Structure 1
Amino acid sequence: MVTVRVSKMCYSFTRLNVSRVLILVIIIYVVFLLFTYNEKLYEIRAERKDISYLKHKELKYILQWTRRYSAPFDFMGEGNSAFIKNNCKHTNCYVTDDANYFVNQSDFDAIAFNGRDVIHLWPFQFPANRNPKQKYIFGAMESPDNFPACDESLDGFFNWTWTYKLDSDFRWGYITIFDLKGAVVGPAINMKWPELDPISDDLKIKLSSKSKAAAWFVSHCSTKSGREDYVEKLQEELVSYGWTVDVYGKCGTLSCERSEERSCFKKVEEDYYFYLSFENSFSEDYVTEKLLIALNNYAVPIVFGAADYSRFLPPGSYLNAMELGPAELARQMSEIIGDNKRYHDFFRWRNHYVYRETSSEEDICKLCEMMNDDKASQFSVWNDFRTWWNGERYANNCR
């Protein structure tokens, strides 16, 4: 009887030991797998783009959360190539769209969201964990008329804004204004315009070849701004003065291929008094490169948009279509064409400024500069983001 009990006890003890050993073996194996995985991950990261993961604290890592193939993301490149290519002062910023680059997404210094895409994301599609030291960046080149931000979760979500708006944390613009010494002077919210000097006799001679009222190059025929309807009414008004707007592209009867762009611009320079710089949507500070077609080809810009154009142009250098209306605009165009002195005065800005399309170099370098600035360690957040981004169009865009 005693022998049987001892045998049972030994058997139970043996089973218990075997179970413990198996559990211990499994634990050791799992630890080994985790260790091997982390070692492999470490090696992969160390080899990526020839930048050592060991030194990642010296770099500023930026994750592109949304697609990279639209502005401004398509200028950011991969790794730090864009910052090196553009000879930036700071080149220690590393860009990737690989959300698994780090085990924890909270290890990124910044996460950038493209305005074209972020408005379509559901809450579960945003980063799960957020580091308070991270900068969430909203980047956009298009206006809120086309890409409004309406979800209330976006208020208090972004730390920095990177857009064409002049009060963005750092600006990605369309147009830069230089003085004649090459210094950047605008555009700006509070531009200080000097008294403008009369134009030279040489410029007067250059302007004397013009014989046609206005040109407009356009490919989008149905827009949020309704510019096409305005031009139709303007055409009707101009007829009574013996003038017309020559419309080039898909929306008109005249042709101007992109491959022939330079020769098309030459026509503006030689033949046309005015050029229609009409935006496709309304937004504060939304002034695109369309304005440069007029300015850099010796035509007076007729602007149409929701911007405060005094931030971009000196007084007396343009006509504002929205303020004048089609009938008054047509009348003034006809009067100005018939008055050389008045027409010449529209070009006085040329004695003081040069207008150019903003280079990607300036804006890309600004991104890395901001990442290295002391402000990067300071907390900031756009609590009223929706109101700021949509502006006066908030009710219309988010109803």
Structure 2
Amino acid sequence: MLIPDNLFPPDLETRRVRVLAWTAHYFDRDFVQDFAFETPDGRRLTLEFTADRSRLASCDAIWFHAPHLGTLPERGRHQRWILASMESEVNCPVLTDPSVRSRFDVVMSYRLDSDVPLVYPSRGSYGNFRDRRPVNTDISPTGAKVLYIASNPVNDRDSYVAELMRYIEVDSAGACLNNIEPEEFVAGRHSWGRGGWESITRLMRRYKFYLAFENSIATDYVTERVFHALRSGLVPVYRGAPNIDEFLPSKRCIVNTADFDSPEHLAGYLDELDRDEDACNAYLQWKDGPFRESFESLLTVADVDPRIRMAVKLMHGCGSECRCGGRLRNPGGVVEPVSPELHWPRSRELHARYCGLRGPDCSGYVSDIGAAGNFDRLRYGDGELLIEKKDDIFKDYLRDGYTWEPHVRRWLVERIRPSDIVLDIGAHIGVHSLTMSRAVGSRGRVIAF
């Protein structure tokens, strides 16, 4: 991830820009307004941001909210068009539609490779993230240690939580799966303006774990849910972006559902953490150390209002190759690989017990069990793998206690049912075939080739 070292280019000649908001939007009610600001070197810049369509011809740029796109106006000769959205590409498919994207000059979105990234974890909103959960905090009204808050129904998200509730007690304060109504919780329309932000953080501090589940799963789509929990000093249980690691202050600060085969196994691990205070506190040790450089980059960009960064981008008149809007990844670039040092449980024994990789004696789920010609035999969970001796990358990765492609394993476990017949086309060494075999059970069948 790149560090935004120059949000205000020295060759910035234009000092005023007029922008018309053509569509409605989900941002704050006062999002569209005029304001002036100064650069660090003292230059005064002005943004005229209006929703008055009668000023279309006189504006330098037209701003569109992707979920409200609708019919587009006639484009002025020198006008630049801006596409904005904090919704994921799953819920707003126009963000990935080439026929739509090609019509816009500047993109403002949750994507780190957008011209003007819209990211959540600013110092202005969250402070320094060093707060810890009070030692003598009140317990929840029900005694539950897990909190869930969601008010917009999402089938796969809610079904995961409902299944989790079968194995561990979860308090749900939102409209989805609601089972508690705490007096201090502020919900409903425009709740942020009525103290909703503060009420959520106060409520969180009565729990050990918070289910920070996104409404969709997409690269870079990391919302306020996980940052609320990180700031409040409890352990986030995260379900969402496959590259969540790029957004975290440290390597061990969340429990990732992608590391578990099922809600049942996740519940078992959370119960273990609840009973082992040292293991639970290990997820909070990041608050006492330095933040990752990538996390500091997010904070640096988010501390500059996105409207200011948008205005600077327009004034500079540059293309996507310039980072003056705060871009954090090269356009069209591949997402930097997530470090394999993920959020594993504190021992292989616990991982074996609670991640579904359980050997016959539960003494370890990955071990060499001999050789067969040019192959090594490797015990993986309750199955065996034959790995070519030259395939050290697979053998070493598995023996070191890591789950191969946990997001794929989760997808399979969520969809495969007992007695299913499953084709694994392109099975490679069979890691996912074993996952499928466990999922279909003794009455099912996996055909792998």
Counterpart-to-counterpart distance in 2, 1:235 and 1:246: 9
Is 2:210 the counterpart of 1:275?
Answer: yes
Counterpart for residue 331 of structure 1: 268
Following TM superposition, by how much is the alpha carbon of 1:266 offset from its aligned partner in structure 2, in angstroms? 3.1
Q: Which one of the candidate residues 178, 181, 185 is aligned to 1:255?
A: 181
Q: 1:156 to 1:268 in 2, by over 3 A?
A: closer
Per-residue CA deviation, residues 314-360 of structure 1 (Å, 9 max, x unaligned), is 22111111331312211211121222221111012212359989978
- 1:173–1:212 Cα change, 3 Å: same
SS of match in other structure, 1:94: strand
Tell me what 2:154 maps to. 223
Q: Is 2:15–2:315's contact at 8 Å kept on the other side of the alignment?
A: no
Whichever residue aligns with residue 253 of structure 1, its letter is N
Shift of residue 223 of structure 1? Answer: 1.1
Deviation at 1:62, TM superposition (A): 1.3
Following superposition, the deviation at residue 204 of structure 1 comes to 9.3
Deviation string, structure 1 residues 106-145 (Cα, Å, up to 9, x no partner): x532211111111xx2xxx3232442x4321111112222
Q: How does 1:106-145 map to 2 (within 5 A)?
A: 108-118=59-69, 121=70, 125-131=71-77, 133-145=78-90
Please say if residues 17 and 314 of structure 2, whose CA atoms lie closer than 8 Å, have aligned partners that are also in contact: yes
Query: Is residue 2:1 matched to residue 1:66?
Result: no
Count, aligned residues: 290
TM-score by length of 2: 0.55
Q: Identify the structure with the greater helix proportion.
A: 1
Question: How far has the Cα of 1:254 moved from its partner?
Answer: 0.2
Q: Which residue number in structure 2 is paired with residue 158 of structure 1?
A: 104
Report the alpha carbon displacement of residue 207 of structure 1 after superposing the two structures with TM.
7.2
Query: C-alpha displacement at 1:74, in angstroms?
Result: 4.8
User: Partners of 2:17 and 2:319 in 1: how far apart?
Assistant: 10
Secondary structure in structure 2 of the residue aligned to 1:154: helix
- Aligned pair in 2 of structure 1 residues 181, 345: CA closer, same or farther (>3 Å)? same
2:32 corresponds, among 59, 73, 76, to 76
SS in 2 for 1:175: coil
Change (3 A) 1:345 1:377: closer
Q: Which is bigger in relative contact order (C-alpha 8 A, separation at least 6)? A: 1
Unaligned runs of 5+ in 1: 1-56, 185-198, 239-243, 389-399
Is the 8 Å Cα contact of residues 149 and 172 (structure 2) preserved in structure 1?
A: yes
Residues in 2 aligned to 1:315 and 1:205: alpha-carbon distance in whole angstroms = 23
Q: Of 226, 229, 240, which residue of structure 2 is paired with 1:305?
A: 240
Unaligned ranges ≥5, structure 2: 1-13, 187-193, 324-330, 335-449
The answer to whether the 8 Å contact 2:118/2:302 transfers is no
Bigger CA drift: 90-99 or 289-298? 90-99
Structure 2 contact 32–50 (Cα < 8 Å) conserved: no
Say whether residues 1:172 and 2:131 are aligned partners. no
Structure 1 vs Structure 2 CA RMSD: 4.2
Report the counterpart of residue 308 of structure 2 in structure 1.
365
After TM superposition, give the deviation of residue 71 of structure 1 in Å: 2.1
Separation of aligned partners in 2, 1:289 and 1:153 = 30
Equivalent residues of 1:292, 1:357 under 8 A apart: no
* Larger CA Rg, structure 1 vs 2: 1
